[in-house]
Amino acid sequence: KHHPELPPRLKRYNRLIARRRAAVETTFATLKRRMKLTTIRYVGLAKAAAQVTMAAIAFNMRRWAAITG
């Protein structure tokens, strides 16, 4: 809105990646907002990876429940 007009090349690029970007951004927004995954609570790579994995499992289970009804 407050920036100068983008060159046509960048407009086309944004249009091409918009669908993929929306899916990824929505996923991360849900993980941050609903599951409060803004900070990692554990020290150590294995525990931090487990926290993110559990959040991803919960996210996918919520999606599955919403899709199947």
Q: Report the alpha-carbon angle 47-40-54, nearest 5.
A: 55
Mapped onto helix, strand or coil, the DSSP state of residue 38 is coil
**Predicted TM-score of the model (pTM):** 0.68
**Which pLDDT tens digit goes with each residue over 26-63?**
999 999 999 889 988 999 999 999 999 999 999 999 99
pLDDT of residue 3: 79
